[in-house]
Structure 1
């Protein structure tokens, strides 16, 4: 267990930075220019009349 303490201590002090980097990575991956058509198509789903 003691070998994990430095890692746990580092994560504890840098958690906000790690979460921010993950959030930015998800946003960049989602809105990458080559994925624009897919994102727009999925965004139009609520506006389609399925009835």
Structure 2
């Protein structure tokens, strides 16, 4: 696994092989100071941009 920096100006390089490439992402949540953590589901979204040569 290789961390991907969010909002970085320089990306992370992935070696692509012939066929389908899958990039699995994980996220973690951080609570605001003074707020309580409540169990439950959450959702999120990401916009990504890929450049290739």
Which of the five TM-score ranges fits, normalised by the shorter chain?
under 0.3
Q: Tell me the TM-score normalized by structure 2.
A: 0.21
Larger RCO (alpha carbons 8 Å, 6+ apart): 1
Q: Which structure features the higher share of helix residues?
A: 1
Q: Which has the larger radius of gyration?
A: 1
Q: Tell me the TM-score normalized by structure 1.
A: 0.21
